[in-house]
Structure 1
Amino acid sequence: MNSAIRRLAVAAIILMLALMANSTYLQAFRADELNGRNDNRRVRDAQFSVNRGPILIGSTPIAQSKPSKDRFEYQRSYQLGPEYAPVTGYYSYLYGRSGIELNQNSQLNGSDPSLAFRRVVDVITNRRQQGASVGLTLNAKAQLAAYRGLAGKKGAVVAIEPKTGKILALVSRPSYNPNELASHDLEKTGAAWKKLNADKNKPLTNRAIKELYPPGSTFKLVTAAAALSSGRYTPETKVRSPAVLELPQTTVGLPNQNGRNCGGSDNATLTVALRESCNSAFGSVGLDLGAEALREQAEKFGFGERQLPDLGAVASRFPADPNAPQVAQSAIGQFDVQATPLQMAMVAAGIANGGDVMKPYLVQTVRTADLKTISETKPESLHQAVSSEVATQLTQMMVDVVENGTGRPARINGVQVAGKTGTAQTAPDRPPFAWFTSFAPANDPQVAVAVMIEDANVPRTDIAGGTLAAPIAKDVMEAVMGR
């Protein structure tokens, strides 16, 4: 009898120890994970009862919590919702969070360790917990110009302040209204979610940072940078530029888009080749430099690295091991070269900033409800992509593109604009992508822009970076410069 009791007691002790170990493990190691799960309704109910902090541009809220007359107590509200949705994301009872609402969640709901003192004060003074405000780097006028420019189109716009890396505009269209997903009418929220996910235009997709596209001729800036940095080329170096460049290992040539040689010559200068966006010339340069030189140059501009990773951004890429014909195609931004609009804005911004590519960022400040600054982002250099001398040469070549070449639609009276057009071919059954990347003023850059048009609902023959994307870039640059 005593033996049976002892065995039972030992079993009970083991079970108690296991329970204590599991409880300790959950509290010490998995509490944050479990609290953050979207199916944890207790936590969700508690969080929806918190006065969540606003997301601001300057002092203007683009997302804020307002008192509600239901069990949740506060309703998340998005002013100009679709315009800023790719940045703010949504805060939904059923579908969790995205964008800044996800990236800055602990600051916005007041649970971040940096807000511990504030929470203690709230308890002592019997005040309700209130989250911190998150101030963004966006320029409201530039954001509006980009949003309006993309009306009726599929595409994205990213604008960057070259000297700091501040993101001044980040727009993706078609967009969606995050108020529909933040609604406390859960039946309506579910219907809205289902409709958005069934939409073939993919309004929930952030085309500015989460989707990869062939950059087309805008990538010629990277190829030109590699050529000038090699020491074997200058802006006036003549390169092979026939109507069709014969490629090794294949009978398929690389033609110029207009079917003619470059600027009336089979041996155009690098400046003329960029001005006229000659495929044969840059294919020739790519073959001469080789894949490794192109890859290294692309990586110096940020290819292969995830920028804004907390917002789900993807890394742009240069193909791993292309053969000779594929190198020529890659040199003009085709084959398997893939880039986000953010990445191509970084290329322009790096050239504008004397070759120094700054790390892009969206969050400028985090402040408590009584305006005490918790954190402030400082500019950070990412890579020296090219020397200041090469950056100056590229700038002059890009100015020539806008003043005399394919980028004329981006010209601004009284301001020198540096730019590069691109029209990237895709599948035969879908339209090309139209690109434009630029910065201004060329002699003292305030803004660099990349515009990508995935579909503009126009005839295939009317699709070109200069005609579709450049006017949008112009409007965004003018908005930042206050013109």
Structure 2
Amino acid sequence: MNAPLRRVAISVLVLFTLLIVNVNYIQVVRSDELRNNQSNTRVLAAEYDRERGAIVVAGTAIAESVPTDGRLKYLRQYPQGELYAAVTGYHSLIYNNSQLEHAQNDILSGSDGRLALRRLADLFTGRDPAGGDVVLTLDPAVQEAAMAGLEGVTGAVVALDPTTGAILGMASTPSYDPTLLSSHDPAAIREYWAQLEAAERDPRLNRAIGDNYPPGSLFKVIVSAAALEDGRTPETVVPAPRELPLPNSTRTIPNFGGTACDPSGQQPLIEALTISCNTAFAQLGMDLGEDRVREMAEAFGMDGERFDIPLRVEGSTVGDITDEAALAQTSIGQRDVRMTPLQAALIAATVANDGVQMKPYLVDELQAPDLTVIDSTRPEEWREPVSADVADQLTEMMVSVVANGSGRAARIPGVQVAGKTGTAQVSEDVPDHTWFMGFAPADDPKIAVAVFVANGGGTGGERSAPIARQVMQAYLDGLGG
């Protein structure tokens, strides 16, 4: 073989080697990445040849696949549409999937390794392949009460079982109908998507977990916890002036409406929380110091870290504290403090559960197509930010908030309710956010709840507490109590 032919042969061999290496890299190394890429509709279209598993609440499918006579054998539907959209997400031929449809895609599509034996059996028996079911912890009565309470506003509700961490309700408004994104008509899908894109508030955002917001006076429970852990009691008298000058600043922190919390300029800690005295908690935060306030907030989970339930939850954080003035503002839940509604519910649930925070979870069971349970969630202790004694004192203070103070609208006849209201300033000429978090019954907690209304105006006691009452009442009625 002469030199030119030899060079050509070597070049061809190198090219073939590179081709083989590239094919193996794509098929082996990058296979999962390419298969799960949101732009890869080929895999998604192939999934329509088999029945996708259902998402189930209390024995009823809230997402299911029904057979069709078209080229695509199955159509994804959401019988209760907007009620559960924030949780289910959508499964779309054009826009792939979101929320649980994304987080539990392997089980729902049937590709999960735990279903391998089922897939193998399908090959030998000729049985049509199918995905597994995802059974949720949600309570229909809680979900319905939450969505009814949020009607006409932008906001979110989260409800938890404080003793297990099971999520009983997760609602977000405005909502949308995921069925319209899951049709087999690409033009109709794109048209509805464009409507959602043009909305002033994105209906596809799960506001319960997908964003965080200034919590206002909810954060005073964190500051109270730090004070109690440091040896103060609900009866400890704290300064509570009409207004509090900020250190090294010409600005002051006023109380709501510019009123005095107490004519004497001081009051017991329990009374300061009951009426949500700004100056008392701003001064208390400075007295405790940044390290103690931040340490307690992070102990409750406000460390800025994201986590999965299995939906991705945005982090909650205290934010930067640059000086004493910033610490005072932080201590009343303003400045850079940010909290998700789920985090607010976790704080209430932790107090309700004797200071133990249970890891929140949304999925109760995973089932094979024959309804055999292939996995289930066991309650898991996650953190213990405060002692049982401090949790009892916080409960006493939060009961006073509902019985005697800003949370009166959360009262339930015959049931002792513990809670805390929050009103958070956003910016000038923009209505405040309003909050409520709490639990009931206070002496034997069954449900913890957080309600967030974005730019609702008014106060947490006026806007959010009544919604929380409806949600807690719906659950307790279902328990027969």
Please report the TM-score for the alignment, with normalisation by the length of structure 2: 0.97
Separation in 1 of the partners of 2:240 and 2:307?
36
Contact 1:242 1:260 in 2 (8 A): no
1:304-323 correspondence runs (5 A) = 304=303, 305-308=305-308, 310-323=310-323
Give the Å deviation of 1:310: 4.8
1:423-442 correspondence runs (5 A) = 423-442=423-442
Q: Which residue of 1 aligns with 2:116?
A: 116
- State whether structure 2 residue 339 is matched by structure 1 residue 339: yes
Separation in 2 of the partners of 1:57 and 1:18?
51
Q: Which residue of 2 aligns with 1:292?
A: 291
Q: Which residue of 2 aligns with 1:27?
A: 27
Q: Runs of 5+ in structure 1 lacking a partner?
A: none
Percent identity among equivalent residues? 47
1:476 to 460, 464, 471: 471
Q: Which residue of 2 aligns with 1:281?
A: 280
Alignment-mate amino acid for residue 240 of structure 2:
S
Bigger drift between 309-318 and 337-346 goes to 309-318
- State whether structure 2 residue 96 is matched by structure 1 residue 101: no
Bigger drift between 297-306 and 30-39 goes to 30-39
Contact 2:162 2:350 in 1 (8 A): yes
Q: Please give the per-residue CA displacement for 1:106-153, whole angstroms capped at 9, x wherever unaligned.
A: 000000111100100111110111000000111110000000000001
Contact 2:309 2:362 in 1 (8 A): no
Q: Which residue of 2 aligns with 1:351?
A: 351
Q: Please give the per-residue CA displacement for 1:187-244, whole angstroms capped at 9, x wherever unaligned.
A: 010000011011112212211111111100011000100110112x110011110110
Q: Secondary structure at 2:17's aligned position in 1?
A: helix
Bigger drift between 7-16 and 35-44 goes to 35-44
Contact 1:419 1:437 in 2 (8 A): yes
Contact 2:53 2:130 in 1 (8 A): yes
Contact 1:246 1:254 in 2 (8 A): yes
Q: Secondary structure at 1:239's aligned position in 2?
A: strand
Separation in 1 of the partners of 2:41 and 2:142?
39
Contact 1:55 1:135 in 2 (8 A): yes
Contact 2:238 2:268 in 1 (8 A): yes
1:322-401 correspondence runs (5 A) = 322-401=322-401
Q: Secondary structure at 1:336's aligned position in 2?
A: coil
Contact 1:354 1:392 in 2 (8 A): yes
Q: Which residue of 2 aligns with 1:217?
A: 217
Alignment-mate amino acid for residue 298 of structure 1:
A
Give the Å deviation of 1:347: 0.5
Q: Secondary structure at 1:131's aligned position in 2?
A: coil
Separation in 2 of the partners of 1:21 and 1:291?
56
Q: Secondary structure at 2:365's aligned position in 1?
A: strand
Q: Which residue of 2 aligns with 1:253?
A: 252
Q: Please give the per-residue CA displacement for 1:385-415, whole angstroms capped at 9, x wherever unaligned.
A: 1000000000011001111111111111111
Separation in 2 of the partners of 1:478 and 1:263?
34
Separation in 1 of the partners of 2:63 and 2:394?
40
Q: Secondary structure at 2:135's aligned position in 1?
A: strand
Separation in 2 of the partners of 1:134 and 1:263?
54
Q: Secondary structure at 1:258's aligned position in 2?
A: helix
Alignment-mate amino acid for residue 127 of structure 1:
R
Q: Runs of 5+ in structure 2 lacking a partner?
A: none
Separation in 2 of the partners of 1:60 and 1:371?
14
Bigger drift between 24-33 and 307-316 goes to 307-316
Separation in 2 of the partners of 1:271 and 1:192?
51
Q: Secondary structure at 2:390's aligned position in 1?
A: helix
Q: Please give the per-residue CA displacement for 1:364-400, whole angstroms capped at 9, x wherever unaligned.
A: 1100011111111111111101000000000011001
Q: Secondary structure at 1:223's aligned position in 2?
A: helix
Alignment-mate amino acid for residue 253 of structure 1:
T
Alignment-mate amino acid for residue 284 of structure 1:
Q
Alignment-mate amino acid for residue 329 of structure 1:
Q
Give the Å deviation of 1:14: 1.6
Q: Which residue of 2 aligns with 1:51?
A: 51
Give the Å deviation of 1:258: 2.8
Contact 2:39 2:96 in 1 (8 A): no
Q: Secondary structure at 2:454's aligned position in 1?
A: strand
Contact 2:309 2:361 in 1 (8 A): no
Separation in 2 of the partners of 1:152 and 1:257?
26
Give the Å deviation of 1:32: 1.5
Bigger drift between 298-307 and 191-200 goes to 298-307
Separation in 2 of the partners of 1:270 and 1:39?
55
Contact 1:197 1:204 in 2 (8 A): no
Alignment-mate amino acid for residue 253 of structure 2:
L
Contact 1:238 1:270 in 2 (8 A): yes
Q: Name the count of aligned residue pairs.
A: 477
Contact 2:138 2:362 in 1 (8 A): yes
Q: Give the 4+ runs in structure 1 shifted more than 4 A.
A: none
Contact 1:54 1:63 in 2 (8 A): yes
Contact 1:136 1:363 in 2 (8 A): yes
Provide the alpha-carbon RMSD of the alignment.
Answer: 1.2
1:404-415 correspondence runs (5 A) = 404-415=404-415
1:178-217 correspondence runs (5 A) = 178-217=178-217
Separation in 1 of the partners of 2:311 and 2:2?
63
Give the Å deviation of 1:335: 0.7
Alignment-mate amino acid for residue 471 of structure 2:
V
Alignment-mate amino acid for residue 22 of structure 1:
N
Give the Å deviation of 1:252: 1.1
Separation in 1 of the partners of 2:264 and 2:459?
23
Q: Secondary structure at 2:257's aligned position in 1?
A: coil
Please report the TM-score for the alignment, with normalisation by the length of structure 1: 0.97
Separation in 2 of the partners of 1:37 and 1:241?
56
Separation in 2 of the partners of 1:133 and 1:246?
58
